[in-house]
Amino acid sequence: MSEEINRFDLPQSEIPRSWYNIQADLPRPLPPVLHPGTKQPVGPADLAPLFPMALIMQEVSQERYIEIPEEVREIYKLWRPTPLLRARRLEKALGTPAHIYYKYEGTSPSGSHKLNTATPQAYYNKQEGVQGLTTETGAGQWGTALSQACNFFGLECKVWMVKISYQQKPHRRTIIQLFGAEVTASPSPLTNAGRTILSKDPNSTGSLGIAISEAVEAAATSGGKYKYALGSVLNHVLMHQTVIGQEALKQLEIAGEYPDVVIGCAGGGSNFAGISLPFVHKNLTEGKKTRIIAVEPAACPSLTRGKYVYDFGDSIGMAPMVKMYTLGHTFIPAPLHAGGLRYHGMASIVCELYDQGLIEAQAIPQLETFGAAAQFLRSEGIVPAPEPAHAIAVAIKEALAAKEAGEKRVILFNLCGHGHFDMSAYEQYLNDQLVDYEYPEKAIAEAMEAVPQV
């Protein structure tokens, strides 16, 4: 009897040498990004105060593959390639004929997929002679990753952390500080953006949009000493994450399988894009028929209930305007525990794929998400972060659908980070203190009234 294999690893020589840029394969080009003041398409000069030129060029590149600098690949070797695992115990618990695989990004030093882009962003800023970087963070995974990457390259780092996460996740805050970064609860009195929000609501729990406004303002007013780094949404960020899906393709080949379904959680889009875009590439160029599913919280349902219009990327209106599925930039989410998914919009690439019918989207409530996380933990032994637990919930639904249909189905999802710093959320789940929250249609309508007319 042959031994069952649960884990599929690659040697370090198989770390991708290039990032995959889906802009080369999109059936129609992305809508232009607009200047927040003039509402005209932005050029490199408009973005130069915030980003190094190398990243600006990646943002607009139409090349299919962009080479990964060797210095970045050397740092990737600290954790890449990450493992692909087959969830056989979960399959057994569900009684499903489906084969469930997950790519585990929680093995990175920062505990999530975010270091895949934080590393090159810090590298390119260092190459341009920048003193430091500003950024925002929701759950704290991006802040952790960027503070670590800045530490690698000797850059200063200032992080604005959404206030509710700052309060819920003090250990994320501590590890960011251990890497030498400054952490400020957002909204804060340190910026005009923060003071504006606090004047309207002194008890504001914050949002990613507000934290972005503060970080962008801090960079833009630094006289060139600081640039801004974003952990999701932008084209180059999603591209950097494609190392995940590229490795998964090779690992599934070792397993002798190809996915019928690929699933990722989606807040700004980086984790979802990282696992899915190389498979979208196969669908577009080789005629594959893999279903691609983006999963978001029912409390922050930008794809499933938002409108596809131009909106600001931040809450104040300082950031460029992007055409995206948005709940309105003034949207303030409920303080659900999946902090990394509390964003009013979505990456332009993900929005275009959804609008063109190339991917699907589902919204999952909080209790179902944590129930799926608990079931996964009890079967596979890994504590998932609340964000990828949304993907686990849909993977379980797909596996049960395969069971009902009596058919084998190969399911792949991205477990983009561990939940070791999310114990307060799990404690509330165990104590029946978590509640489901559906964002009210009236609140969406009110927020949409503030969307700029383009």
* Preceding peptide of 41 cis, ω within 30°: no
Could you tell me the residue range of the domain that residue 376 belongs to?
69-111+236-448
In a domain, 359, yes or no: yes
Report which DSSP code applies to 269.
S
In a domain, 312, yes or no: yes
Write the CATH number for 102: 3.40.50.1100
Is 301 inside any structural domain? Answer: yes
Token readout for 186 is: 């957002």
Cα–Cα separations (whole angstroms), residue 236 to 29, 267, 436, 442, 450 = 15, 16, 34, 35, 28
What is the pairing mode between strands 156-162 and 132-137? parallel
Distances in Å between the alpha carbon of 334 and those of 341, 371, 440? 11, 19, 11
Q: Which residue has the tokens 């209790």?
A: 367
**Structure confidence at residue 447 as a pLDDT band (50, 70, 90):** confident
Residue 397's H or E segment, with its range, is: helix 386-405
138 falls within a domain:
no
Up-side HSE of residue 167: CA atoms within 13 Å toward CB?
A: 11
Q: What is the three-class DSSP state of 70?
A: helix
CB neighbourhood size of 82 (10 A): 25
Q: Is residue 200 part of a domain?
A: no
Q: What is the pLDDT of residues 252-272, one digit of tens each?
A: 999 999 999 999 999 999 999
In this structure, is residue 161 part of a structural domain? no
User: Given pLDDT bands bounded at 50, 70 and 90, which one contains residue 358?
Assistant: very high
Give me the number of domains the chain comprises: 1
pTM: 0.94
Q: Is 180 left (phi over 0), alpha (psi -120 to 50) or beta?
A: left
Asked whether residue 225 is assigned to any structural domain, the reply reads no
**pLDDT, tens digit (0-9, with 9 covering 90-100), for 282-315:** 999 999 999 999 999 998 899 999 999 999 887 7
pLDDT for 1 beyond 50: no
Assigned domain for 97 exists: yes
Model pLDDT for residues 226-247, shown as the tens digit of each residue: 999 999 999 999 999 999 999 9
Residue 162 DSSP class? E
Residue type at 81?
Answer: P
